[in-house]
Structure 1
Amino acid sequence: MDAARSADTTAAPVPSTGVHGAVRRSELPGGVRLVTESVPGVRSVAIGIWIGIGSVDETGQQAGAAHFLEHLLFKGTRRRTAVGIAEEMDAVGGELNAFTAKEHTCYYAHVLDTDVALAVDLLTDVVTDAQLAPADVEVERGVVLEEIAMRDDDPEDLLGDLFDQTLFGEHPLGLPVIGSEESIRGITRDTLHGFWRSLYTTPRMVVAAAGNLDHDAVAELVATALGRAANGHAGAAAVPPRAASGTRPVRSAALGLQSDESEQAHVLLGVPTPGRHVPGSPVLAVLNSALGGGLSSRLFQQVREQRGLAYQVYSSTSRYADAGSLSVYAGCAPERLGEVVAVVRDVLGEVATGGLTDAEVTRARGALRGGLVLACEDTASRMHRLGRGELDHGRQRSLSESLARIEAVTPGEVAALAAELLDQPLTAAVVGPYEDETELPAALRELG
């Protein structure tokens, strides 16, 4: 308790991210950052160990290593077997899982508030003291290869990777998080172990927790559990948020095609956006919401409601340190692909030249504000907000501040951003029953 408190860098709680309780931040020995939010009235705690390492940090020989480790670290530690890990969590009705992204990895648990000590002990044991036994590497190699095969059988998942590859080109953002069949077959235990030991260090770790908790009690649990790992980084400062590398992605082509014997054609059309360190996130969020974020959005109304061309159509954004994207997805009958693409291009062109109406901006702001508040009703969502805020920006933005930023977005700002982004050449990715690009409709083949 004393070590954790003496390292507390926050004299007073930072602004709350919600109405329930205050957010507190401490820097623990070894550069570990702890960010918690007390949420009185709930009986659970969501806690995650976030590591600022993802697929963009891999070399060619390491492709897929972060995701492979996500599987492998749960296979056993010096104190626990894989079965033992599962049994301990099942015995308290909790959830233990992990996910890997392009710029970070998170190992998390969701438990009753009485089981926080168990969750901290399990998570830290898995992340810092796994065995990576050669036999387990081979077992999980097969599991990851099955996951790649499953991705290849899911047109939307396959489409997302194809779009990133086409839009971001040879930049690390263009590589699939999961790796490739070739890279997973070739990666060695020594490569995985070296990646883990060299990069999963305490200065890169953020522990985020939300729920019915006490910050100081969690700080002591974490400091004790990570004590041995932190000792190797005594006096080290926390690694700051990932900065832009200075290398901007360059798209590899205007169009990417993956032939697939699916019943539908699946298409993503989009443009690059600036990275997350460039101001303008709320404006981009409003633009995205009005374009394809809900039932009243322009794309949903034009593609589905008025023309009945597709069951599913929506837009989405991604923002990384170096770049991001604004994209539109649609799934339709193959014979309707040309018309769907033409309508999407028309809508994007209209917004690029004329912006959005005041009513569209008002609805989009309201949708974003409501979604943000409703998400905060869930402790897991709050934990994710804390972890991402600390890793990406090194700070927490209060819910009130976030809501105010959304509400301050004007139609003029949206129009200016739309003109800047949507005037760029479109990049497309298609997964469907087409042998080659000559079989695609002209609306796609003429992109450039």
Structure 2
Amino acid sequence: MQAFASFSVTIFRSSPVELTRYTLDNGLTVLLQPTATAPVVACNVWVGVGSADEEPFEAGLAHVHEHMLFKGTERRGVGELAREIESAGGHINAFTSFDQTCYYVVMSSRFMETGLDILSDAIRNSSFDAEELERELEVIQEEIKRGEDNPSRVATQQLFETAYTTHPYRLPVIGTSESVDSFDRDAVHAFFKKHYVPSNMAVVLAGDFELDEAKALVERYFGDFKGPDYNAVVRPSEPDQSGVRVSARQRDIQQNHLRVAFHIPEAAHEDIPALDVLSIILGYGDAAHLYRVIEREEELVNAIYASAYSPREAGLFFVGADFQLDTDRDETAPAHVLKRVLEETYRFGEVAPNQVDVERARTLLESQAIYGKQTIEGLAMKIGHYQMVAGDPAFEQLYYQRLRQVTPADVQRVAKTYLRLENTSVALLSPSSEPEVSDASLVKSAEDAHARVQRDIVDADATADDEGFVRVEIPDGPTLIVQVDRSVETFSMRALTLGGLRYETPESAGLNQILAELLTEGTEERSSLALAREVESMAASIGGLAGRNSFGLGMTGLTRFFDRCFDIFADVLNGATLPEEEFERVRKLQLQKLRARQDQPGAVNYELFARTFFGDHPYAYPILGTEESLSSLTAQQLRDYLAERRNPGQLVISVVGDVDIDHTVALVERYFVRPHSPSVKMPAIAPAPTFERPTLVTLPLDKEQAHIIAGFPAPLLGTPEADALELIDAVLSGQGGRLFYELRDRQSLAYSVFASPIVGLDASAFTVRIGTSPEKIEQAVLGIREQIERLRSEPPTDEEIARAKRYLIGNHDIGLQRNSARAMTFGLDELYRMGYRRSLDYGDRLSALSADDLYRVIETYLDPQKMVVAITHPSETKINPDLLKG
């Protein structure tokens, strides 16, 4: 018979080279992949038998053959096969899995025939010498013992035994000490005869060879290989799991090994690409959700990961974690760690990841495939794997086609389908020195985790009101405010929390300003430069926010980059590293700014007033800090402060622009939901002093002009009286206001004079400010007092009030044009518990105020007998200490 006379040949296109697949007359599948990338060839023989095809009395026999087939043949003695390969500069090895056994040689392509000869000889003519078998079984016993000494392997096997009750995947590939001890040559040879037949095998060649030459060599060494048609073993199917399965064991080990699994379909199933994406998002790399939350933020584990194991038949989705019990932290107890791991895992069934996460996962999966083809050995392995697992080496193309189509909704769907409570299996291997963990407690942890996630589900069908607003209180997460505005394809978002100057002390003054600058100087995922480049490449902007009462982060960008921007936004807030060298740089710059303020007499005057008026209250501190506080601050202080401030339950996130509500809710849940986050108490804040008589403070400066601030107690932020005070401010200020007309135009006391409220949550001030010549100080102070007294004797007229209302309402409406302004305003109003819609009612509130309302505020707060005056003046100017007594 002529070689190849009856071959049925099919050609597959596999970029950048072609794959040829055909079947010999004896039923042997041949796959040839020529590629000239290097003068190397990989020769594989795959046998479609693994440990899952064994009878109970054969447990471990598939693995025994991996050891024995290189132990000599009729032509080659023990060790000669390996020596021949190594003398040709190659290497030979094998592996066994649940589904198949693979024997492979990698060597210079000039010795390809040698490789095929040796593989064919080993596969077809192994001698199975009884003495060699006895020695090799001893080696396998040592391999079993080594596995028993590896807690990670023991825990994983424990998980398989728990997850599978019927399917042979529950049994160890290597067998057991008892089963291996029972084997003899007859058992090994009978197994070989049953499974090692051409129709159950595939030869794979990849590398630098000519196709015709390879076909001829395969025919020469495998064409006359005889054997019956293979009768595949019918494996028992695993029944559907209907409840949580657990196994808790103890050993003399140092740390806990937690393993969780969920049944998933076989490798060829259409859901596998989405499950692979889910495994990357959940537990692969430093950007993985479980790593960021469980390991990095909550510090519950030393290591955590997830993976999707998809063999020829139904596989498992894994989550694994290793950790040590800390007796000082109850949350490191195994039952609690399991609960937290499952809470974050189950949550993916309710919340879709964002597109950025999906793209990141897809890129990683595709890159693994590409990198795997860098070597000829990797290329051959990939071809053989798909042939044996899916029955078609071209299945890889279908897999990646499906992978490219995976959407965030697909990832959520497979999570909801497979990562279910009743599909959960748990194995815990813990140190015998720790308290024993009961199966019941593990079951309860799983049930509690599932119940918590179900209880915390946010209605994804949130509907905007007539003004485009939605407010969502996310359990274990922030309060979210969304206003949809599709007029322009942009968005702006803010994450805000109580903080700022109000949360500082004399020793930490300036902390919030430094932290706001440092937030974008690098994260655990992105360097400062990488972050800046990524943000700028999307024409976006991001920066920290620090004020008198709040701290936060803001970002603005184009709608088409919303997911990418949100990923960066969350990464900065959750993962800012605040590097030491950047801290030193920013602190140095802030010290320079602080010193430069001494050249600004108005700024020095304000700080003198604030110290006096607010006393021990933090509003008294310079917002940039002091020389002493900045010198003593450390980067670790900033990290500790940030860890408290970004507590999800205390955040308000506001998003305004061309965004989708449901998707935004999902993103916030994905990045900012943290069950069991410890509550952070507000620091004790000293009250501001009260003044029962006029108070004067002065400070000489080496300057030409004098600066004066006269201040009065004022209503707190958010009160109706504060609205009235704004109208009073407008009556006094501006070029048509009383102060400008009387003190500038008529008396020529200053170039600029204005009123300005300092509105706070604990204390507020209403100030009048003026810069004047030193010789006019007394006239300016008396002029300010006269205008305040005039307010009391001649309250604002209806005309003045109407003008002030029109001015304020118009300015307010103009100021809310930009998404960024609205996101900030809505967020702060919600944070201060005034309601996010408060700014929308501004015009109505002001319009409703009457002259009587203003007069009551004037009478209550603007009392010249409680006036605090701060004056900075040239050194040679003398200030009358009795200036306020007249």
Q: Same fold (TM over 0.5)?
A: yes
* Counterpart AA for 2:425: T
* Counterpart AA for 1:385: K
Could you say what secondary structure the match of 1:349 adopts? helix
Find the partner of 1:304 among 292, 295, 303: 295
Preserved contact between residue 161 and residue 176 of structure 1 (Cα < 8 Å) = yes
**If the length of structure 2 is used for normalisation, what is the TM-score?**
0.47
Matched, 1:352 2:349: yes
Find the partner of 1:167 among 149, 163, 167: 163
The answer for unaligned runs of 5 or more in structure 2 is 327-331, 448-886
Q: Which residue of 2 aligns with 1:247?
A: 237
CA RMSD of aligned residues (A): 2.5
* Counterpart AA for 2:263: P
Could you say what secondary structure the match of 2:421 adopts? coil
Q: Determine the C-alpha separation between the residues in 2 that align with 1:436 and 1:77.
A: 52
Q: Determine the C-alpha separation between the residues in 2 that align with 1:143 and 1:150.
A: 11
- Of 397-406 and 100-109, more deviation after overlay is shown by 397-406
Find the partner of 2:181 among 182, 185, 192: 185
Q: Determine the C-alpha separation between the residues in 2 that align with 1:403 and 1:63.
A: 35
Q: Which residue of 2 aligns with 1:418?
A: 415
Q: Determine the C-alpha separation between the residues in 2 that align with 1:371 and 1:32.
A: 30
Q: Determine the C-alpha separation between the residues in 2 that align with 1:153 and 1:204.
A: 35
Could you say what secondary structure the match of 1:6 adopts? coil
Preserved contact between residue 49 and residue 107 of structure 1 (Cα < 8 Å) = yes
Q: CA shift at 1:310, angstroms? A: 2.7
Find the partner of 1:45 among 41, 44, 49: 41
Could you say what secondary structure the match of 1:165 adopts? helix
Q: Determine the C-alpha separation between the residues in 1 that align with 2:180 and 2:397.
A: 45
Q: Determine the C-alpha separation between the residues in 1 that align with 2:176 and 2:113.
A: 37
- Of 276-285 and 435-444, more deviation after overlay is shown by 435-444
Q: CA shift at 1:394, angstroms? A: 2.4
Matched, 1:6 2:8: no
Change (3 A) 1:145 1:50: same
Could you say what secondary structure the match of 2:295 adopts? helix
Q: Determine the C-alpha separation between the residues in 2 that align with 1:340 and 1:2.
A: 67
Could you say what secondary structure the match of 1:36 adopts? strand
Q: Determine the C-alpha separation between the residues in 2 that align with 1:73 and 1:332.
A: 41
Preserved contact between residue 315 and residue 327 of structure 1 (Cα < 8 Å) = yes
Could you say what secondary structure the match of 1:49 adopts? strand
* Counterpart AA for 1:159: A
* Counterpart AA for 2:274: V
Q: Determine the C-alpha separation between the residues in 1 that align with 2:441 and 2:341.
A: 10
Could you say what secondary structure the match of 2:308 adopts? strand
Q: How many residues are matched?
A: 438
- CA offset digits 1:398-441 (Å, max 9, x no partner): 76654332111111111111111112332111223138994369
Q: Determine the C-alpha separation between the residues in 2 that align with 1:269 and 1:121.
A: 45
* Counterpart AA for 1:247: S
Matched, 1:340 2:337: yes
Matched, 1:206 2:202: yes
- CA offset digits 1:362-410 (Å, max 9, x no partner): 2111221222222221212211111121122222227665433211111
Q: Determine the C-alpha separation between the residues in 2 that align with 1:119 and 1:379.
A: 14
Could you say what secondary structure the match of 2:8 adopts? coil
- CA offset digits 1:199-237 (Å, max 9, x no partner): 11011011112111223322222222124423x45xx6x
Could you say what secondary structure the match of 1:322 adopts? coil
Q: CA shift at 1:29, angstroms? A: 2.7
Preserved contact between residue 248 and residue 439 of structure 2 (Cα < 8 Å) = no
Could you say what secondary structure the match of 1:382 adopts? helix
Matched, 1:386 2:376: no
Q: Which residue of 2 aligns with 1:64?
A: 60
Find the partner of 1:270 among 247, 255, 261: 261
Q: Determine the C-alpha separation between the residues in 2 that align with 1:376 and 1:443.
A: 46
Change (3 A) 1:257 1:137: farther
- Of 140-149 and 275-284, more deviation after overlay is shown by 275-284
Q: Which residue of 1 aligns with 2:251?
A: 260
Q: Determine the C-alpha separation between the residues in 2 that align with 1:435 and 1:249.
A: 37
Q: CA shift at 1:32, angstroms? A: 0.6
- Of 396-405 and 50-59, more deviation after overlay is shown by 396-405
Change (3 A) 1:182 1:359: same
The share of aligned pairs that are identical, in percent, is 26
Q: Determine the C-alpha separation between the residues in 1 that align with 2:264 and 2:406.
A: 18
Q: Determine the C-alpha separation between the residues in 1 that align with 2:13 and 2:212.
A: 17
Could you say what secondary structure the match of 1:75 adopts? coil
Q: CA shift at 1:78, angstroms? A: 0.3
Preserved contact between residue 206 and residue 380 of structure 2 (Cα < 8 Å) = yes
The answer for unaligned runs of 5 or more in structure 1 is none
Could you say what secondary structure the match of 2:238 adopts? coil
Q: Which residue of 2 aligns with 1:115?
A: 111
Q: Determine the C-alpha separation between the residues in 1 that align with 2:2 and 2:434.
A: 66
Q: Which residue of 2 aligns with 1:330?
A: 321
- CA offset digits 1:46-92 (Å, max 9, x no partner): 12100101111111111100001111121110001122112112212
Q: Determine the C-alpha separation between the residues in 2 that align with 1:281 and 1:211.
A: 29
Q: Which residue of 2 aligns with 1:361?
A: 358
Preserved contact between residue 247 and residue 322 of structure 1 (Cα < 8 Å) = no
Preserved contact between residue 265 and residue 272 of structure 2 (Cα < 8 Å) = no
Q: CA shift at 1:248, angstroms? A: 2.2
Q: Which has the higher contact order (CA 8 A, sep 6+)?
A: 1
Q: Determine the C-alpha separation between the residues in 2 that align with 1:153 and 1:112.
A: 38
Q: CA shift at 1:37, angstroms? A: 1.3
Could you say what secondary structure the match of 1:22 adopts? strand
Matched, 1:91 2:87: yes
Q: Which residue of 2 aligns with 1:81?
A: 77
- CA offset digits 1:242-268 (Å, max 9, x no partner): 898572246697122342222221111
- Of 221-230 and 83-92, more deviation after overlay is shown by 221-230
Could you say what secondary structure the match of 2:304 adopts? strand
Q: Which residue of 1 aligns with 2:13?
A: 15
Change (3 A) 1:435 1:6: farther
Q: Determine the C-alpha separation between the residues in 2 that align with 1:73 and 1:276.
A: 28
* Counterpart AA for 2:429: V
Change (3 A) 1:445 1:412: closer
Preserved contact between residue 310 and residue 330 of structure 1 (Cα < 8 Å) = yes
* Counterpart AA for 1:9: S
* Counterpart AA for 2:311: Y
Q: Determine the C-alpha separation between the residues in 1 that align with 2:291 and 2:39.
A: 39
Matched, 1:291 2:282: yes
Matched, 1:314 2:305: yes
**If the length of structure 1 is used for normalisation, what is the TM-score?**
0.91
Q: Determine the C-alpha separation between the residues in 2 that align with 1:60 and 1:153.
A: 24
Q: Determine the C-alpha separation between the residues in 2 that align with 1:6 and 1:293.
A: 50
Q: Which residue of 1 aligns with 2:403?
A: 406
Preserved contact between residue 338 and residue 441 of structure 1 (Cα < 8 Å) = no
* Counterpart AA for 2:118: L
Q: Which residue of 1 aligns with 2:427?
A: 429
* Counterpart AA for 2:408: P
Q: CA shift at 1:42, angstroms? A: 1.0
Q: CA shift at 1:322, angstroms? A: 3.4
Change (3 A) 1:243 1:401: farther
Could you say what secondary structure the match of 2:410 adopts? helix
Q: Determine the C-alpha separation between the residues in 2 that align with 1:86 and 1:213.
A: 22
Change (3 A) 1:424 1:441: closer
Q: Determine the C-alpha separation between the residues in 2 that align with 1:389 and 1:273.
A: 18
Q: Determine the C-alpha separation between the residues in 2 that align with 1:56 and 1:401.
A: 26
- CA offset digits 1:323-380 (Å, max 9, x no partner): 1110111111144334432321111121111132222212111221222222221212
Q: CA shift at 1:277, angstroms? A: 4.2
* Counterpart AA for 2:430: G
